[in-house]
Amino acid sequence: MFLINCPYCGERDQQEFKAGGEAHIERPKQPTELSDDEWAEYLFMRKNIKGVQFERWNHAHGCRKWFNMARDTSNDEIKAIYKMGEKPPTQ
């Protein structure tokens, strides 16, 4: 059970949050211009890596805000939490 530092509310128990999959996948601005393959890339393809992964989380039972998290999937260490629209930490 993670202890997640919501950027708006502070540290809260994981059960207040919902995981929302990989972060930094922007919805294409002009979907109609995309080929089936390009659209499928956006729609279906997600990374599942062992190591630091960038994820979206939602404080669903709290402020309802979405934010990003850099989490090491091998040991569940939360490396960083940052707001939507912010750049991922480089390290």
Partner 1 sequence: MTQNLRVKSSEFIDETNRISFKFDGKTYYGFKGDTLASALIANNVHLVGRSFKYHRPRGIMTCGSEEPNAIVQVNPNSNITEPNARATEIEIYEGLEASSQNCWPSVHFDIGGINNFLAPLFPAGFYYKTFMWPKSFWEKYEFFIRHSAGLGKSPNTRDPDIYDHRNIHCDVLVVGAGISGILAAKNAAKNNFKTLLLDENNELGGSTIFETNEDNKINHNSASEWLKKEIYELKNIKNLEIKSRTSVAAYHQYNYLLARENLTDHLNKKDKKNKIRQRLLKIRAKKVILATGALERPLIFNNNDRPGIMLSSAIKKYSNFYGVACGTRNIFFTNNDSAYESALSLHNKGIKVEAIIDIRENSDAKIIKKINDAGIKIYWSHTIVDTRGYKRLSGVSIMKLSNDGTSVTGSKISISCDCLGIAGGWTPAVHLYTQSGSKLTFDEDRKIFIPKTDTKEQISVGSCGGDFELDRIITNLNYKLKNFLNIDKTDFEDIALENDHETSKRNIWLLPSDRSIGKTKSFVDYQNDATAKDIKLALREGFRSIEHVKRYTTTGMGTDQGKLGNMHALGIIADTAGVKMGELGTTTFRPPYTPLTFGTIVGRNVGEFFDTFRRTPMNDWHIKNKAEFENVGQWKRPWYYPKEDETMHQAVQRESKAARQSAGILDASTLGKIDIQGSDASEFLNRVYTNAWSKLAIGKCRYGLMLNEDGMVYDDGVTTRLGENHYIMTTTTGGAANVLGKLEDYLQTEWPELDVYLTSVTDHFATASLCGPNSKKILNKIIPDLDLSDDNFPHMSFKEVLIDKIKCRVMRISFTGELSYEINAPASYGEAIWQKCIEAGKEFNITPYGTETMHLLRAEKGFIIVGQDTDGTMTPIDLQMDWIVSKKKYDFIGKRSLYRSDTIKENRKQLVGLLTEDPNIVLEEGAQIVSELNQKPVEMLGHVTSSYFSPNLNKSIALAVVKDGKNMRGKKLFIPMENKNISVTVSNTIFFDEENKRINA
- Would you tell me which residues interact with partner 1 (CB under 8 A)? 1-3, 13, 18, 20, 26-28, 30-32, 34, 36, 39-40, 43, 56, 58, 60, 64-66, 75-76, 84-85
Amino acid (1-letter code) at residue 12: R
Q: How far apart are CB 80 and partner 1 at their closest, in Å?
A: 15
Gap between the Cα atoms of 78 and 4, Å rounded: 8
Q: How far apart are CB 78 and partner 1 at their closest, in Å?
A: 8
Q: Using alpha carbons, select from 68, 32, 73 the residue that is nearest to residue 52.
A: 73
Q: Using alpha carbons, select from 73, 17, 22, 67 the residue that is nearest to residue 43.
A: 22
Of the pair 37, 90, the CB lying nearest partner 1 is at 37
55 and 73 Cβ atoms separated by less than 8 Å: no
Q: How far apart are CB 87 and partner 1 at their closest, in Å?
A: 15
